[in-house]
Amino acid sequence: MPHSPPECKLPRETWTLPFHSAGQKRLFIIAEDGSQQSMAAIALAAQLMHEYDDNCLVLHLGKEPGLPRRAEQLFAKCMPEMVTAGIPFQRCGTKYIQMQEGWSVADTLVYFANHADWCNAGAPVLVFGSAGPDSMGGAAASREPSRAATPRGGNSQFGDIAQQCVSFVKVPCYLVKDTGWRVSRTRVGRDATPGLRLAVCVDPSPVSKKAWDEALSCCRKGMDDELVAFHVDDASANGAESIAIKESYEAECAKLVCLGINARLVTVPSKLNLQRHILQFIRQERPDVMYMGSVELSNAKKKHHLGSVCLAVCHEASVHCVIVKNTL
């Protein structure tokens, strides 16, 4: 029996998407407004999605009814980019959503992403820019001021909408930081070398394993991809647990190497706080995408329902970041 769309929040037609349900793994929801960073989101999604299993949905929000000319022009610009990247046309879709009265861009993005599994188009992930309102809502969003300033030592502005999305979206969040990526049929990383380098912060938690699985689903055999597990070893806290996690991921990496995927474990002793270790690893290893699992904070009165380490790394890292939540 097909799902019924959530009532009284967004119109029923919002949940109608041009995809068939058979054989699909994920639905990449790309928040798009035509800016440089949101076009980089198209390039990132095209590199990471599987062209025969995954779907992508280019999403534009606004206050105008119907399908505004701006949205038509944007979709006409984005769709050829996906096809250029080798994504079959039938795997690409577009959706314009008119925001409800009193709803912000962030409200609409969060709600749509958290309920998109009603669409039967694959497990949803949300891809969006970090630089602020202009990267996610176009003209409608530009009227919402960005209250989040660039932190000391940070590498890019972290907009208010991006902050709300990484805090409240329940599905994996792909946060686009680098605008230098371009759509390409070949699989290349940020330094123009073949293959992608995907890194994952690992620890004994179940959400860390989910982040590892999310990164692994984006790897391709025979494409020179590299999957790096990064572990901060705090042996003084729990020596047996530290040994177990290293042995577990060493075995995982060895198994992947046998399957044709380059994988390795990087372990460092705990000398700094975890945030500093992760940022130092990013500077040294230069991954294309950094995956992190986050246990959401249980205190609903807090402004951000996201672990402090993940939020800090999202602010300061220069690479694309992926946040996988513990809520699914």
| Residue-level pLDDT at 28 | 95
Same fold, 24-176 and 197-325: yes
Q: Tens digits of per-residue pLDDT, 58-95?
A: 999 999 988 888 899 989 988 888 888 888 888 899 99
Q: Tens digits of per-residue pLDDT, 179-217?
A: 666 667 677 777 778 889 999 999 888 999 999 999 999
| Residue-level pLDDT at 297 | 44
* Token pair recorded at residue 303: 């402004």
Q: Tens digits of per-residue pLDDT, 20-64?
A: 755 568 999 999 988 888 888 988 998 898 888 899 999 999 999
| Residue-level pLDDT at 327 | 64
pTM for the whole structure: 0.87
Angle between helix 36-48 and helix 69-84 axes, rounded to 10 deg: 40
Mean of pLDDT values over 284-288: 92
- Asked whether the predicted pLDDT for residue 301 surpasses 60, the reply is no
| Residue-level pLDDT at 179 | 61
Question: Under the phi-then-psi rule, with left for phi > 0, alpha for psi from -120 to 50, and beta for the rest, what region is 229?
Answer: beta
| Residue-level pLDDT at 183 | 67
- Report the range of poorest mean pLDDT among 96-110, 171-185, 312-326: 171-185
Return the sign of the alpha-carbon dihedral for residues 303, 305, 306, 307: positive
Name the β-bridge partners of 291.
200, 322
| Residues of the chain above pLDDT 90, percent | 35
In the chain, domain spans: 24-176, 197-325
Helix (H, G, I), strand (E, B) or coil at 194: strand
- Report the range of poorest mean pLDDT among 159-168, 181-190, 314-323: 181-190
Query: Nearest 10 degrees: CA dihedral of 87, 91, 97, 103?
Result: -80
User: Domain 197-325 belongs to what topology?
Assistant: Rossmann fold (3.40.50)
Q: Would you give the DSSP letter of residue 10?
A: S
Q: How confident is the model at residue 152 (pLDDT cuts 50, 70, 90)?
A: very low
Q: Tens digits of per-residue pLDDT, 106-140?
A: 999 999 999 988 787 889 999 998 875 443 444 33
Q: How confident is the model at residue 238 (pLDDT cuts 50, 70, 90)?
A: low
| Residue-level pLDDT at 306 | 53
Q: Are strands 320-325 and 173-176 parallel, antiparallel or unpaired?
A: antiparallel
Which residue in 251, 323, 262, 247 sits closest to 292, CA to CA? 323
Amino acid symbol at 91:
R
Q: How far are the Cα atoms of 148, 149, 197, 252 from residue 131, in angstroms, in the given order?
A: 10, 10, 23, 35
User: What integer best gives the mean pLDDT of the chain?
Assistant: 81
- Domain 24-176 part of CATH 3.40.50.620: yes
| Residue-level pLDDT at 141 | 38
Mean of pLDDT values over 296-306: 45
Mean of pLDDT values over 139-148: 37
